[in-house]
Amino acid sequence: MHYFILENEKLNAGHFYQLREEDNYHAVRVLRLKTGETIALSDGLGTVFSGTVFSVDDGILTVQLQEKMNSAESQLKITLAQGLVKGEKFDLIVRQAVELGVSEIQPLHLERSVPHRNEKKAEKRLQRWRAIVRSATAQCRRATLPAINEVISLEAYLGQIDNSFLIVPWECEESFSLNKLLQKPSPAGGKVSVFIGPEGGFGDKEIELLGKAGAVFVHLGPRILRSETAATAVIAVLQSAWGDLV
């Protein structure tokens, strides 16, 4: 069953809807969907319906919704606070984080981040990330479109976190492992923020800020992982222990 997202649209069984322009083109010109075929349509806010293609007239597909479907959302609400890394690597992190069920992605400009901050490219880069989020959400059939925010500093982000359990994989932590942490019950409310450093890791002042914010530092074993590997590995292990990855 092909899966589409119609952001922020109030969906109701029996009602008729048309897809977004780019999705409509893909459905009609690429997938060549026909009248009577079944698709799924989500509002990106947690609700998804099955639907039947009612008509394809003048290149415009109209779907009639049938009934609600189960949501593929984890009860564990993970925010990935990810230090900026080079373009293609960050794109990969975003896609894999969405597939693994994160609720939010917060890009961070850190001391050792590459590339350096460039305001002229910021909006274009954010739009690319949001397109990746949307594509990954549809691909893995999630009902909720994860948020991806504008790049901010670590200090600014720590100042706005509310009731979240902070986890920081850090190569200098030797005694406390992520495995030991996950033997404990999941945090009340199920909100977790995972901080992943850029190439080169966190700076000393950043580690100090995280410590003052109450973060728990963990190690990930004997090998030093790349930033993109660490992000995927930690989210997957968290979902396996406290979430819905089986």
Q: Are 213 and 167 in contact (CB under 8 A)?
A: no
Per-residue b or e along 174-188, where b marks 16 or more CB atoms closer than 10 Å to that residue's CB = eeeebeebbeeebbe
Distances (CA, A) of 230 to 65, 80, 149: 40, 11, 20
CA distance 80 to 181: 18
Peptide bond into 115 cis (omega under 30): yes
Return the pLDDT at 118: 67
CA distances from 87 to 94, 116, 154, 187, 234 (A): 11, 11, 19, 33, 21
Burial 92-118 (b: 16+ CB within 10 A, else e): bbbbbbbbbbbbbbbbbbbbebeeeee
What is the chain's pLDDT, residue by residue, as a tens digit (246 residues)?
899 999 989 999 999 999 999 899 999 999 999 999 999 999 999 999 999 999 999 889 999 999 999 888 899 999 999 999 987 899 999 999 999 999 999 999 999 887 666 667 888 999 999 999 999 999 999 999 999 999 999 999 999 998 899 999 999 998 999 999 999 999 988 999 999 999 889 999 999 999 999 999 999 999 989 999 999 999 999 999 999 988
Instruction: State residue 112's pLDDT score.
Output: 87
Q: How many CA atoms lie within 13 A of 226 on its CB side?
A: 8
CA 190 and chain centroid, separation? 16
What pLDDT score was predicted for residue 72? 80
Q: 83 near 196, Cβ under 8 Å?
A: yes
Residue 216 · residue 167 · CB < 8 Å: yes
Q: Give how far Cα 144 sits from Cα of 9, 104, 119, 161, 214, Å.
A: 13, 10, 29, 21, 29
User: What CA–CA distance (Å, rounded) separates 56 from 24?
Assistant: 10
Q: Do 66 and 88 contact (CB within 8 A), yes or no?
A: no
Pairing mode, strands 60-68 and 48-57: antiparallel
**Domains of the chain and any CATH numbers:** 2-68 (2.40.240.20), 77-242 (3.40.1280.10)
Q: Is the pTM of this model over 0.85?
A: yes
pLDDT value at position 240?
A: 96
87, 116 in Cβ contact below 8 A?
Answer: no
